[in-house]
Amino acid sequence: MPHRTTPAHRSEVALAAVLLAALTAASAGAAPRGGAFPWFAPEDVRTPVEVQVTTPDGESRTVRRCGAPAGPAKARAEVDAALDLWRSLGKLHRRAEKTTIPVAVHVVRGDGEVGEVSDRQIADQIRVLDRAFRRSAFRFDLASVDRTERRKWHRKCRPFDERGRLRATYRKMTSRLSVDPGTTLDLYTCDLLREDLLGTAMLPWFFLGESPLDAVVVDYRTLPGGGAAPYDEGDTVVHEVGHWLGLHHTFQDGCSAPGDDVADTPFEAVPAIGCPVGRDSCADDPGLDPVTNFMDSGDDACAARFSKGQRRRARIAVDLYRPGIGGPAGGEAVKPPTPSSRSRTPGSRTPPAPVRSPTP
């Protein structure tokens, strides 16, 4: 059953958000000159996780596995304090049952069919996503599909530049295509590999509100059968949705506390490349590296699980920061609309009537 919110609950969240905004602003300091995104910490740029990808044309490339910014350590600590407080207030009963998250897929193409994603691939991706979170409080349903042909958006869909500034193309793309970000997960596919990146996402506390910028973006070749081997089985979307739900990388902070702020994922000094099962990069700490965890960086064939602590953290984070997910404003339950596919003309704000798509 979708999550139901109430005006009282929204007031509680709004108050918590205001207090948290003040705390994180004090911890992180003023935004750097040039309009950089406050949560984009310098270490996010200096220490990228690089992996090898073979594209459908046989080219081997070195790209960044993930571009989701973790944020300054002090600000992360304030978020964790807020999550601990929310849990201690006993709010978890609000998400005792499964919450269905509708997914709006935006296929952003280049010229002609460049960057096209089939209805079958999209359906397979939603199944991969839903299966990965099957033991969590969430399930995912395809709500809509739209296809937009705009070369600039297709090629420059990465949210941040190297200095941490939100890019104008990303702002324009999301403001035009976003579908009710307060209740829906917006998933964009485009040519991120052109910018040496597989995927990226916004964490729940980045905007403290219902912003079109709040989304997940992946390279179209990472969807099942997309050809960005060995990252073409759909787990890039799973990984980035994990961030969108409030999870950090398992190798966050290396062997130092607080790591990824989840007690049952062992510390990990460096990201997993490939599938080094049995590795123990933090020998002085208990447990082997969680290399098969979706929030590590191993191959898609290696990724297999979320820990119980991660599932719990995601539930708390969504309860606090995304109270409307799965239901419209006002708290009524929502049934995701029937999946459809429609095309959008680049210069039009209102999409034309839906066109028929092959049934997956």
Q: Which residues are catalytic?
A: 240
Cis peptide before 351 (omega within 30 of 0): no
216-219 vs 199-201, strand pairing mode: antiparallel
Beta bridge partners of 185: 103
Residue 222 carries which DSSP code?
Answer: G
Q: Which helix (H) or strand (E) segment is 86 a member of?
A: helix 73-88
179, 209 contact by CB (below 8 A) = no
Q: DSSP string spanning 276-340?
A: -TT--S-TTSSS---TTBTTS---TTT--B--HHHHHHHHHHHHHH-TTTTS-TTS---PPPPP-
Are 147 and 107 in contact by the 8 Å Cβ rule? The answer is yes
Burial of 1 (0-12, 13-18, 19+ CB in 10 A): exposed
| In contact, 236 and 254? CB cutoff 8 Å | no
Instruction: Decide: helix, strand or coil at residue 16.
Output: helix
> DSSP letter string over 103-148?
EEEEEEE-STTTT---HHHHHHHHHHHHHHTTTSSEEEEEEEEEEE
CA 210 from chain center: how many Å?
15
Helix (H) or strand (E) holding 189: strand 185-190
Quick one: tokens of 345?
Answer: 């003309």
